[in-house]
Structure 1
Amino acid sequence: MASAVDLQVLIQKFQTLSEEEYKEEDTNVFLVTCQKCLEEDQLEVLLDTIKDEKNQILLRNMGWNLIGPITKCMQSCALGSEKEKGCLQMLNGLIQVCNPKEILLGILEQIDEAAGDHISRIILPLLQPLQIVLLKLGNKRAYSVGLSLSTLHSRLSRLPVPYTAEQMQEDKHLLCQCCLALVQFAQPFIDTVSQSMDISTEPDVQEMRKELLTFCFSCLQSPLLSAQLNALPEDEDDNPFRVFAKEIITGVWSELTKIEQNFLKPLHTGLNMSRAHYEAEMRSTNEKKKGSQSVKPLCTVTAGGHQLPDMTPEMQLQVLQSALFTFDLMESVLARVEELIEVKLKSAPEEKIGS
């Protein structure tokens, strides 16, 4: 209880100060005292402090510094526990008082620093506060939404993707839960784009669409590239990655025709031509290596518009094989995009593309 008493003494002191009178040392003392309250499970004392309207000036100056300690406190309790709910109440209280941009950066900092088994444990409870903060930013929120999605994806992409039905059910690293939670997190921003009457006249909505599409294509590589979308489990609604894939495709469904015409088809053509080019050069190089020096190369290898210098056949084969391997990776991603489109078509066979 000593920490709770110390906090009350500090609060009484700070309530007599104007905003200009706060010093850095005051912030440090306040932060340390609040940390002790959290460590001693004096959550109600700290929550009452945040809710008290008399402390708004104090919290506007120092409140965002509490995000780290509160997040650390949540890590020590079970998902959905009363202690976690108390921590979330504190975060929501800070969101109502503090500068939204400061709170946003504070939350993203905690997510960005998450590692190992702590990644999902930190992300899951912070998604709702993060969504609330982003919605408070008004129309000029596209960049912040994109930054948030990028930060979330960079952490989740480090988690192993469960492959079998048993692994999905166990969800050891909580990746399945995170994917489903991400759908709910992104929904308001997807609605902003899908409900727009004329995107061409709304620059903010255009920017939001761009950020969402960037996130979608990132998800194609991870986790969806290695996720099992078909067959397991038998009930497709029980497969979190299938649900996640369907929701992502739904979110950009109005753009599918443009994506197919302006990106997928040209990419197919480019990959086929490039593969044929490099395979022909490999055949020519192999013939050289066997001693058929009289055989004229079928094509030349260039990079950045410049022909590559002469190399030994072994070096040429290594470079060419590396390029073909890159094409394999690109084709894998492209195949997964087409598979996701097929998933959407099967889930809504009567829906018209681009409608």
Structure 2
Amino acid sequence: MEVNQLDDVIQRWRTTREKDLKAEDHELFLNIGRTCIAQGDSAQLLDFITEEKNQGIVRSMGSGLLGTLIKEVVRKERDPQHCDAVITHLIQICNADELLDILLKEIDDTDPDAVADTIILLMQHIQPVLSRLGDSKVPALGLALRSLQRQIAMLPVPYSRKQEQEDKLGLCRCCTALLTFVQPFVQEVKSHDAKGPETTGYEEGLRTVLLNFCMESLRGPLLEAQLEREADSTQNSPLRNFATEIMSILLVIQPLPKLLFYYPLKGREDSGITKQDQAHPTESRACLAYLLFVQLIAMEVFPAVFSPVFVLQCNMEYINILLSRKDESWILKGLDLYVKSLERVLDSSLPVQLLELRVFHSVSQVLLTIMIDCPIQHLRVKALVVFQLFIEKLNGEAKHKFFRCIMKTSQHAGVHSVILKNIKNQVEHSSKLEHSDGWFERTLLISLLKDTVSLPQGPETDLLHGMDRVMESLNLLRYLLIKERKHAAIWTDLCKIAESYIKTLRVCLSMSKSYYGTELKRLQEEKRIKAREFKETYGEKSMRPMMVKNEKLGGMSPEAQDKVLQCAIVTYDLMESLVVRIEEIIEERV
């Protein structure tokens, strides 16, 4: 378009009422503006936008340029100074509702490769638009926060402190910008609270929006973030700062005990629980509990009236949620929350009634699953530590019933060995007490031993696979027989249990030693005579497969097979030596 033609069009727009502008006028205006931006003539565009006599035109049609301007600034190919100034001017004079719709659309259409830069830029301009919306500000704030958090959730959470410091994809910058974005609205709530307890619909709506924002922030990114404070650092990480500020906002909005404890203890039909309370995901509350009881964020203002057992009981639901996920960060938080909740229970006083709650049983099963199946070693080790700590917090009756339950429900030899070791420790502990509760003495002890000291598959039990369980069973029997030599009331029953167990075990040992001894001789003979022939002609595939620990050895090298077989023979010798010692103790007493 020629310059004189453009001048004529602009002059016509200046004299036309807004409602008389046609779709063709809007399209032409946007084409002209976008051409200026594309050609780098943003300074010329700024002059036109800010010229006093053009304000009617800009107010009517200028908001349509926002998307192009924002993309140009984010692209960073040219100096964004003039484009920034144009955006700021449009935000000030264009229709606020139109501006909000356009800005929200820009959030949803964010380039995946420029999420952080786009989101941070948009937040700067959404805030002044919200301030112009009047009564519709609160629902608009809710829409904006949901859109922003939906995009931020697509950014990967830094796994290490180094990644967090580098912040290559901008998650930490986005979280910091979010806090700046919501602060004016948090201050509104504080200002109202300073005036008095009366509330209006606007104020209640603002609290609800901010509460939803905080709960969503707890679920993501904070549940996946590394939030531990570094011992050698005086400064908190950006994500820990974000967590601290989220907790600070929650303290302004709603008492923490209501969020943590009221919801899980009341039924969903309870009239005291609002629909809004039900909408907050349990994962968010779990992260809240973690920040409070593990990281101690806001712990200084948390009421001290709740008993440790009550806190543990309430936290069990959150612990179960965290441990049930496959994510390492979730499991770590669940284990840490379990430890801290248990440590608050100073004495071994958890009653059996508490243990029998469904959620306690569920968490125990999840812990066992982590101990047995988790591919990450340090999580397996930590789960075992937590499992042991839980056992130590049970009273005598609860321990007795828990041990019996685990031995019946779990088929894992390692888990059985942990329980058997705990039975021995508990017997030893009870003997040192002046007044024991009796759950690990005499008749009750014998009853427990009958259910725990056994070979699951009888004579066909895989001893190598169940080595841990067998060795702990033998150690327990040896300890008890020595300890109870002078107590005739329990000695006879102990001997019956020991003799029955040893009788079956000897059959297993005889079969296993014979099998593995034969295999070892065969392997050594083959290695000596035919090793070269097998290697050159048949390879390792010609070796006959054997089963050990439910795994085939046929795919192993001869050296590896030899090592496994030697280990099996040594293990059986150890078992047999313990069997002989137990038989000697029984004979000595007789």
TM over 0.5, shorter chain: yes
Match of 1:244 among 242, 245, 258: 242
Maintained 8 Å contact 2:291/2:297: no
1:109-153 deviation per Cα after TM superposition (whole angstroms, max 9, x unaligned): 101111422211211111111111111223541111111101100
Aligned partner of 2:176 in structure 1 is 180
For 1:298-313, what aligned pairs fall within 5 Å after superposition?
A: none
Partner Cα separation in structure 1 for residue 285 and residue 249 of structure 2: 19
Tell me the TM-score normalized by structure 2.
0.45
Letter in 2 for 1:43: S
2 CA distance for matches of 1:181 and 1:153?
12
Distance in 2 between residues matched to 1:228 and 1:270, nearest whole Å: 32
- Counterpart in the other structure of 2:10: 11
Aligned: 1:341 with 2:341? no
Q: Which residue of 1 aligns with 2:88?
A: 92
1:129 aligns with 2:128: no
Q: Indicate which of 169, 191, 195 corresponds to 1:195.
A: 191
In 1, the alpha carbon distance for the partners of 2:282 and 2:143 equals 28
Contact (CA 8 Å) 2:215, 2:285: kept in 1 or not? no
Give the deviation of 1:240 after TM superposition.
1.1
Deviation at 1:194, TM superposition (A): 1.5
Q: 3-state DSSP class of the match of 2:10?
A: helix
> Aligned equivalents of 2:38 and 2:231: distance in 1?
42
Alignment partner of 1:36 is 2:25: no
Correspondence list, 1:18-29, <5 A: 18-29=17-28
Post-superposition CA distance 1:317-352 (Å, at most 9, x none): xxxxxxxxxxxxx76543311133358855684x57
Q: Distance in 2 between matches of 1:245 and 1:112?
A: 25
Q: Counterpart in 2 of 1:103? A: 99
Distance, in Å, in 1 between the alignment partners of 2:143 and 2:291 is: 25
Structure 2 match to 1:149: 145
Q: Which amino acid aligns with 1:246?
A: T
- Within the alignment, does 1:225 sit opposite 2:176 as a pair? no
Displacement of 1:19 in angstroms is 2.2
User: Based on CA coordinates, which of the two structures has the bigger radius of gyration?
Assistant: 2
- The 5-angstrom pairing of residues 46-125 of structure 1 reads 46-77=45-76, 83-125=79-121
Aligned partner of 2:251 in structure 1 is 253
1:237: how far off?
A: 3.9
Aligned residue in 2 for 1:206: 204
Q: How many residues align?
A: 289
CA contact (8 A) 2:189 2:252 kept: no
How big is the shift at 1:177?
A: 0.5
Amino acid at match of 2:285: L
Asked if the contact 2:247/2:298 (under 8 Å) is kept, the reply is: no
What amino acid maps onto 1:341 in structure 2? L
* Root mean square deviation, CA, Å: 2.8
Q: Which amino acid aligns with 1:337?
A: L
Q: Distance in 2 between matches of 1:148 and 1:347?
A: 28
CA contact under 8 A between 1:246 and 1:343: conserved in structure 2? no
Shift of 1:101: 1.1
In structure 2, how many angstroms separate the alpha carbons of the residues matched to 1:99 and 1:150? 22
Note the C-alpha offset of 1:158: 0.9
Deviation at 1:249, TM superposition (A): 1.4
Tell me: CA distance 1:14–1:245, structure 2 relative to 1, closer, same or farther (3 Å).
same
Q: Contact (CA 8 Å) 2:248, 2:298: kept in 1 or not?
A: no
User: How far, CA to CA, are the matches of 1:141 and 1:178 in structure 2?
Assistant: 22
Task: Give the drift of 1:159.
Answer: 0.8
Amino acid in structure 2 at the alignment position of 1:247: E
Q: Give the SS at the match of 1:61.
A: helix
Offset from partner CA, 1:195-221 (integer Å, 9 cap, x none): 112354322111001001011111111
2-structure distance, mates of 1:230, 1:40 = 49
For the residues of structure 1 that align with 2:153 and 2:253, how far apart are their CA atoms? 25
CA offsets per residue over residues 51-95 of structure 1, 9 Å max, x none? 1121122122211111111112112117xxx83332221111012
8 Å CA contact 1:75, 1:122 repeated in 2: yes
Give the equivalent residue in structure 2 for 1:291. Answer: none
Residues 10 and 77 of structure 1: is their aligned pair in 2 closer, same or farther, counting only changes over 3 Å? farther
Structure 1 Cα separation of the partners of residues 3 and 217 of structure 2: 45
Contact 1:3 1:33 (8 Å CA) reproduced: no
1:175-210 Cα offsets, whole Å, 9 max, x none, are 110110111111001111121123543221110010
Change over 3 Å in CA distance of 1:331–1:212 after alignment to 2: closer
CA–CA distance in structure 2, aligned partners of residues 217 and 6 of structure 1: 56
Q: 1:145 to 1:199 in 2, by over 3 A?
A: farther
Task: Give 1:264's match in structure 2, choosing from 260, 263, 286.
Answer: 260
Query: After the TM superposition, which of the residue ranges 9-18 and 37-46 deviates more from structure 2?
Result: 9-18
Q: Hey, what's the Cα distance between the residues in 1 that align with 2:197 and 2:6?
A: 51
Scaled by the length of structure 1, what TM-score is found? 0.73
Q: For 1:189 and 1:260, how far apart are their aligned partners in 2?
A: 23
Maintained 8 Å contact 2:172/2:238: yes
| Secondary structure at the counterpart of residue 83 of structure 1 | coil
Helix, strand or coil at the partner of 2:217: helix
Alpha-carbon distance between aligned partners in 1 of 2:252 and 2:172, rounded to the nearest angstrom = 26
Shift in Å at residue 18 of structure 1? 2.6
Identity %: 33
**C-alpha distance 111-199 of structure 1, shift in aligned 2 (>3 A):** farther
Structure 1 distance, partners of 2:150, 2:168, is 19
| Map of 2:361 onto structure 1 | none
Q: Distance in 2 between matches of 1:123 and 1:3?
A: 38
Deviation per CA, 1:158-182: give whole Å up to 9, x if none. Answer: 1100121111121111111011011
CA distance in 2, matches of 1:76, 1:211: 32
User: 2:138·2:202 contact (CA, 8 Å) conserved in 1?
Assistant: yes
Distance 1:46 1:233, change over 3 A: farther
Contact 1:6–1:33 under 8 Å retained in 2: no
Give, in whole Å, the separation in 2 of the partners of 1:195 and 1:4: 55
